[in-house]
Structures are given as structure tokens and as C-alpha cells.
Structure 1
């Protein structure tokens, strides 16, 4: 990453604050005048932030997950630290597996009080893909199959897990799942194709 550690931390803090605003805006029950006042403040903040902009979101270094994996399970990899649209995860690596814990809020709702299935798919793609990245392999998702076993609740801790199932040449198969209170709610199996580093 081509920015200083201080700027990295400031960007991370700004994104975290933005997520707080996103959630608050989604669930607010303020009076109409208060909502309009808040909208004007946020519009001004957007103008201020947009005065100087890079063309893309700050990207974390490719070898970050591998570095975190080599440091041990007490050194998680922070996913989506610089993008408020990504679901933030602290991914812990252990051998050929990875784990994370998430308590999804109202921003990720699909059916009432439940996690949206599309977000489940995104979480699984991240858990599998970052695990492969942590092995030092650069690969892209070729296919991702999900089975939705039971409803996944909001506002309760979920455990996310992934593991490498098979490596055959450039093809890497990984499996993952989401658990609530020890019971799987979603299972995923992905095929990833290793590509040349660029």
C-alpha cells in the first residue's frame, strides 16, 4: 500500500465511522426536519471528502493474509478495512483453515430478521478466497455453490469457517460454512483457478 501507516489508520477509522452512519441512517426514526438536517450535513461531508479523490478504494497488500497466517492465529487479517460496502471481518488462520466471527446488523437484512442470502454468498466467497490468498496463491473464483440449510439470524454471533479441500494443478477447491450456535446455516464449495501474478 502506498500510504503511510497513519493514513492507513485514518482511512480505516473513517470507513468505520461511515458504517456507523450507514446503519444509523437505515434505522433512524427521527422527525422529518431532523432527517432533512442530517441529510444536509452528510451531503456537505460527501462534498468535503470528494474534493480530493483517488480513482479506486485503497487496496490492502496482496501478501497481507499470508503474513497474518504466518504470524499465527492471534494475528487476524482485517478484511474490508477500507471499503464501507464490504462486510468487515477479522479472519484468523490456522493451518489450512480460516475462521471469523460476525454479528450482522440491519444493513444485511433479507427476509425479516434474517441475513440476506446474497450476503451469505459474499461472506463465503471472501472466506474461501482470502484463505487461498493466505496460502500465497493468486486465484479467482470460477464457481461458488451454496446450500442454505436453515435461516441465518441477524443481531446474533455467527461463526464463519473455511478450509482447503483439494489442490490439483491450477485448480483449488475450498469449502466453507456459516454456523449459528454450533449449527450450520449455510455451506459453500468453491472452485478457484490460480492465475499468474500481475
Structure 2
């Protein structure tokens, strides 16, 4: 049996050659419209690809059942948005740690943590951008102001990094980066309100 969220799709397993064909056919139907796949179960066991197109290698005679579970895009976006405040906290702790390490002249460790902090910050900003695209169709001056501030700060920190002025970098992180990232809490609050409204509708 092939099912999506507990409902039979009416498709027969023997119509296909492998698992990938089944999954692609499900994606082509309107079963998952406005939804995000969260889990795939094959023979009642959780399946996720270890390498690209692994599903193609699972032949039909190995399959008795396929179940796809999903959730609405708005619900997923709401869950992710709720986690974003925790990410702001992590960045706050990370920035303080880097500043402390630079001030203790532990440059190697500080640079390693700094790189991780910048990676997390970039991912955070990208995710905020995607979520805003989903939730808000209008311009948001507050978001644009904070985004511009962080962008300018990144440029300044890069210059300071190239000059190897570790104490100035510590100051920028502590007195400019942390307050700038804290201002995203307002943006996250707006996103939460927008997604909560959408989920209730």
C-alpha cells in the first residue's frame, strides 16, 4: 500500500520499478500541495537517503508498503520561527566567547569559534529571509534597517580580521554584533504573529 498522511493514494506498488519512482509520482500528484514532507516510511521503517538517488536502488520486490508523512508549509514555518530565538541566544553566547578568547590572546581557538559563528549567522540571515518571503509580502523597514546594519558590520569585521586587530574585532562583536542580532528578536516576533495567524485560518 502507498499512503500519504494515512490516506491511501490508490496507487499499486507493482506499477513501479523502484522506490524513487513511487516518491516522484507522489510528488507529481496534488497530495502534497502546500505541504512539506517530514518522514518517509518503507515497510514501516523510517527511510532517508544516505547518498543521492539511493531510493532508485531499492527495488520493488523489497517493498511492501510506503508511507509519506507531511505537514502544512505554514506549520513548518511556525515551528522553525519558534526556534529562531534560540539561535539568537546561541549567537550571543558565541560572540561573547570569541571576544573573551581574543582578549585572552587565544587567537587560534577564537578564530575557529569565530568562523563557526559567522557560518551560523549567515544561515540564520538566509532563513530569516526565506521565512519573511513566506510570511510577509510587504516591505519591512525595521528588518531592512537591521539587515543593512549587519551587512555593514560584516564588511567592517572582515577588514579588521584581515588586519589581525583581534582586540578591535572583540569590541565589534561585543558592542555592535550582539546588540544588532538582538534587534532581530522584533523581526522574529512579527514572523511568529504572521505564521500563527496563517495557521489559525
Q: Bigger radius of gyration, 1 or 2?
A: 2
Higher relative contact order (CA 8 A, sep 6+): 2
- Asked if TM exceeds 0.5, the reply is no
**TM-score range normalised by the length of the shorter chain:** under 0.3
Name the structure where strand makes up a greater proportion of residues: 1
Give the TM-score taking structure 2 as reference length: 0.25
Give the TM-score taking structure 1 as reference length: 0.26
